[in-house]
Amino acid sequence: MAILNLEELKKQIKEGTFTGLESLENEFKSMLKEVLQETSQVELTSHLGYEKNKISDNINSRNRYNKKKQGSKYGQVDLEIPREADSSFEPLFNKSNQKKRNHIRRK
């Protein structure tokens, strides 16, 4: 929907096509998911020392994803957190035992 653009939001309100705050919350939730997953990808790249899809001498390599449910004030966000072969990677931002982030949880 991409209504996070202020001009687009104004246009939708003026045209009567704005569906309400729920659509904004869904937009925030989608954006949060993208940010959390991208953060995990960047953290894994830093951990491994090479970019995704690049050849490396490092024997530890990317190895699929783990599914994780992250709570937020916008509801549950289903994530796919990257993992690597020797399981030494622990995302700093999305720790496996952490259910809600203090700055994104419901008050």
**Cα–Cα distance for residue pair 32/16, rounded to 1 Å:** 27
pLDDT tens column, 66-78: 899 988 888 899 9
Q: Are 49 and 84 in contact (CB under 8 A)?
A: no
Q: Residue 93 above 90 pLDDT?
A: no
Report yes or no on whether pTM surpasses 0.95.
no
Sequence ranges of the domains in the chain:
18-52+61-107
In degrees and rounded to multiples of 5, residue 63 shows phi and psi of: -145, 75
